[in-house]
Amino acid sequence: MTSAHQPPPQQEPSTAPPSPPGRPYHHGDLRRAILGTALDVIASDGPSALSLRDLARRAGVSHAAPAHHFKDRTGLLTAIAAEGFGLLAGALTEAADLKDAGVRYVRFAREHPAHFQVMFTPELLRADDLELTTARALAGDALRGAVSAVRPESLGIDTRLAGVAAWSLAHGFATLLLSHNLDGPVGDRDPEEVFRTLAAMLFRGEA
């Protein structure tokens, strides 16, 4: 006869590995989380401040997790640059004309300063990375498309040099803007409108 006071049977111990204190065992999108954390670090302290171990700590994952996704620091920075060129290509492709392409370039730099900084620092990147070279080519094609719409050859200007001129203006303006060297000249005015004025001065043939 079973006793009314018989203790309940013990449950089988869980076989799931315990989560490290303060670190989630599961992470919804670890690659995205690491990229986002890296972008925050670059925006505040520059690429030289990046450390995979520190990123793992900030993202709340094991120290080996970033290396699993990006292999090393160069791989991480290359992934950031590739993402940046992809975003830039998308923005330039939707441009209505050359001035609008320049404005979108400046806007991209303002909205994605960490991407912008890494994209144009080739010594930080793996130059033969397929994702990077593909995204960079798409961005270049989009810029050349905006230049060709102006038909610079009709003005006696070499199309390739016209593209260099347009890129130099947009990139130079964006770089000076992000480094606060234009704080005085731009003042309280909208930087994008200031750029439109500059582009109109230098590319009158677009009309």
Is there a single domain that holds both residue 128 and residue 63?
A: no
Is there a single domain that holds both residue 188 and residue 112?
A: yes
Render pLDDT for 77-98 as a digit per residue (tens, 0 to 9). Answer: 999 999 999 999 999 999 998 8
pLDDT score for 64: 87
Give, in degrees to the nearest 5, the angle at Cα 203 between 142 and 82.
Answer: 25
pLDDT score for 27: 52
Is there a single domain that holds both residue 83 and residue 183?
A: yes
Would you say 206 and 151 are in contact if contact means Cβ atoms under 8 Å apart? no
pLDDT score for 177: 97
Render pLDDT for 129-166 as a digit per residue (tens, 0 to 9). Answer: 999 999 999 999 999 888 877 766 555 667 778 788 88
Q: What is the CATH number of the domain that holds 133?
A: 1.10.357.10
Is there a single domain that holds both residue 95 and residue 173?
A: yes
Q: Which residues contact 97 (CB under 8 A, 6 or more apart)?
A: 146, 149, 150, 206
Percentage of residues in the chain having pLDDT higher than 90:
61
Is there a single domain that holds both residue 158 and residue 57?
A: no
Q: What is the CATH number of the domain that holds 66?
A: 1.10.10.60
Output 104 or 16, whichever has higher pLDDT. Answer: 104
Is there a single domain that holds both residue 92 and residue 131?
A: yes
Question: Is position 21 within any domain?
Answer: no
Question: Is position 12 within any domain?
Answer: no
> If you search the block for the tokens 């925050």, which residue do you land on?
40
Is there a single domain that holds both residue 131 and residue 31?
A: no
Q: Which domain holds residue 36?
A: 26-70
CA terminus-to-terminus distance, the chain: 100
Provide φ and ψ at 203, rounded to 5°.
-125, 60
**pTM, entire model:** 0.81
Q: Which residues contact 86 (CB under 8 A, 6 or more apart)?
A: 135, 138, 139
Is there a single domain that holds both residue 61 and residue 154?
A: no
Per-residue confidence band for 13, with pLDDT thresholds at 50, 70 and 90: very low
Is there a single domain that holds both residue 43 and residue 135?
A: no
Q: Which of 50, 70, 90 is the last residue of a domain?
A: 70
Q: Which of 70, 101, 128 is the last residue of a domain?
A: 70
